[in-house]
Amino acid sequence: MMGEQLLVYVPGWPARIEAFLPKDRLARLAGRELARGGAVRILDYGTPAHLERFSFLCPSSDSLADPESLSWWRQPWLRWNLSEKMRQWHTDISREIGRHRPHAVVYLAETAGDYFQARQVALRVRDMRPDTPQAVCGPFAELLGAHDKRRAPFTGACPACGLDSPTGMTGEGEGSLPCHSPAVYPALYGGGKFQVFPLSLDRPPTLELMRAPAVAREMREMDAGVAVRVFHVDGVLSAAEAGELAAELLARRVEGQYSLGCLPGPQSDSVWALSRAAGCRAVEWLVPSGSQRLIDDYYRLPFGMSEARRAVRMCRMAGIFTAVRMLWPCPEDDRHTRAESAYFLEKAQPDSVMLDTPRATERPDSRHAGDRHGLLDELRNRGFTVQMRAWQG
């Protein structure tokens, strides 16, 4: 008799707050496997219960402020003790995987740290069960797997897992809803996972985008299965798509609150009042810059600054928490575009501002390095609530 397929998430260290969120990709893969008639279980170790064993090893902020509390002999001891705890953790997880006698194991790697942890566990599983195919999926699977072929325990393809390659599932999520059953995903029930569920609008290129009826159906199914009332629609919508989603939720009488990301553009006067009535409580507007020149020539986005200001203000007037996400600085930014961005935010008046430093392909050159915090300081001086998220490789 063929055993069950295991979908495993081992969070990287130090743990991020996102580690405690339900893993939508694994839930979708579980739903697809069940739809095919297979047996599947999700082992999600991103819970406080699993990570609390490391808490006493982490120095407090007070001790970090006092160099004498971390003397020359204690620092190596902390590193050694943490390494020992990690090795024992990997061994415990691999033994639990072995007890299930799976016919295949798939690991999720959302970050480089996740990939490293999955690799350490998979090496131990390979020693115990050399004939069990193992694969890894997620954003960092292809990026790091390409440089880890010699010793990586992951197979290049895993048909038993539904993987044609180590980076994604064949027909991932197609024709099936994510599974959040306690028999399949026990960490959701009493395990300490945050009950915030992403509803992804993105799909592999072979599949159609998930539209409003599918999102509404998924919200209703999840509410029935997990009794969840808070959702995040993962993706960037237009105002028209946000209105379609709100109308669909109201028509289906789906109760709950949700947040989403949106791109400025043409919109009706009632779209955000309708969204507020449907349960929308927060919108993050993607406005990379307040400079029309950069929006047109550098980012190549199809909206004007007047449209963006109107969209943000109307959303906030409807009683929805409104945030604006900007990218700063890009290679074309200067003091003039910084002033334009500050002026845009002053006129739009969002509840919050988030500044992202550029991705690796968009890193500013050295002449902008000293101005990295220029816009941040200017906005804070003007009374804005601002958060800056550093670029992570």
- Encode pLDDT of 135-159 as tens digits: 988 876 665 555 565 556 887 544 4
In whole angstroms, how far apart are CA 201 and each of 211, 236, 299?
7, 8, 22
**CATH label of the domain that carries residue 302:** 3.20.20.70
CB neighbour class for 336 (10 Å; exposed up to 12, middle 13-18, buried from 19): exposed
Q: What is the pLDDT of residue 76?
A: 61
Q: Which residue in the block uniquely carries the two structure tokens 């029930």?
A: 189
Of 349, 354, 350, 351, nearest to 387 by C-alpha is 354
Tell whether 225 and 163 lie within a shared domain. no
Q: What angle do CA 261, 391, 115 make, to 5 degrees?
A: 90
**Domain CATH for 61:** 3.40.50
pLDDT for position 239:
87
Among 234, 132, 214, residue whose Cα is nearest residue 173: 214
User: Which of 152, 169, 186 corresponds to the end of one domain?
Assistant: 169
> How many C-beta neighbours within 10 Å does residue 340 have?
19
Query: Do 298 and 158 have their domain in common?
Result: no
Which is more confidently placed, 8 or 73? 8
Return d(Cα 34, Cα 168) in angstroms, integer.
17
Q: Which of 57-71, 91-105, 263-277, 298-312 has the lowest mean pLDDT?
A: 57-71
Predicted confidence at residue 372, as pLDDT, reads 57
Q: 16 with 125, same domain? A: yes
Reported confidence tier of residue 286, pLDDT bands at 50, 70, 90? very high
* 90 compared with 72, residue with greater pLDDT: 90
Q: How many domains does the chain have?
A: 2
* Alpha-carbon separation of residue 257 from 194, 232, 267, 273, 279 (angstroms): 15, 9, 22, 14, 4
Closest of 141, 197, 191 to residue 165, by C-alpha:
141
Examine the domain organization and report whether 220 and 357 are in the same domain. yes
- Percentages helix, strand, coil for the chain (3-state, rounded to 5) are 45, 15, 40
Structure confidence by residue, pLDDT tens digits, 335-352: 899 999 999 999 999 988
Which tokens go with 382?
Answer: 């003007």
Q: Say whether both 214 and 164 belong to one domain.
A: no
Residues 248 and 349 in one domain: yes
| pLDDT bucket at 123, cuts 50 / 70 / 90 | very high
Which two three-digit tokens encode residue 132?
């069990």
- In this structure, is residue 119 part of a structural domain? yes
pLDDT, mean over the chain: 77
The verdict on 90 and 216 lying in the same domain is: no
pLDDT band for position 366 (cuts 50, 70, 90):
very low
pLDDT tens-digit readout, 174-228: 446 788 888 899 888 876 677 776 665 544 333 333 567 777 777 777 766 666 6
Check whether 6 has a pLDDT greater than 70: yes
Determine the longest span between alpha carbons in the chain, in angstroms: 69
| 190 occurs within a structural domain | no
Could you report the per-residue pLDDT of 76-121, keeping only the tens digit for each?
A: 655 656 677 788 889 999 999 999 999 999 999 888 888 889 999 9
Do 371 and 261 belong to one domain?
yes
Which residues span the domain enclosing 58? 5-169
Strands (DSSP E) along the chain, which ranges?
5-9, 40-44, 104-108, 134-137, 163-165, 168-169, 197-200, 230-238, 257-263, 280-286, 321-327, 352-356, 386-389
Tell me whether residue 186 is in a domain: no
More confident residue, 230 or 364: 230
> What single letter denotes the amino acid at residue 352?
S
> Does 184 reside within a domain?
no
Residue 174 lies in a domain: no
Please state whether 36 falls in left (phi above 0), alpha (psi between -120 and 50) or beta: alpha
Q: In the chain, what percentage of residues exceed pLDDT 70?
A: 70
pLDDT in tens, 309-327: 999 999 999 999 999 999 8
187, 14 contact by CB (below 8 A) = no
Enter the pTM of the model.
Answer: 0.59
With respect to residue 365, please indicate whether it lies within any of the assigned structural domains. yes
Who contacts 227 (Cβ-Cβ below 8 Å, separation ≥6)?
Answer: none
CB 198 within 8 A of CB 165: no
- Domain assignment present for residue 134? The answer is yes
Q: 347 burial class (0-12, 13-18, 19+ CB within 10 angstroms)? A: middle
Q: What is the structure's pLDDT at 164?
A: 46
Looking at the structure, tell me whether residues 131 and 75 fall in a common domain.
Answer: yes
pLDDT at residue 279 in the model? 92
Render pLDDT for 36-65 as a digit per residue (tens, 0 to 9): 888 999 999 988 777 766 654 444 444 434
Same domain, 281 and 222: yes
Question: For the chain, what percent of residues have pLDDT higher than 90?
Answer: 34
Residues 315 and 217 in one domain: yes
Task: Say whether pLDDT at 122 is over 70.
Answer: yes
**Quick check: is 179 in a domain?**
no
340: CB partners within 8 A, 6+ apart: 289, 290, 291, 292
130 and 229 inside one domain: no
Query: In a 3-state reduction of DSSP, which class is residue 6?
Result: strand
Q: Strand 230-238 to strand 257-263: parallel, antiparallel, or no bridges (unpaired)? A: parallel
Number of H helices, E strands in the chain: 13, 13
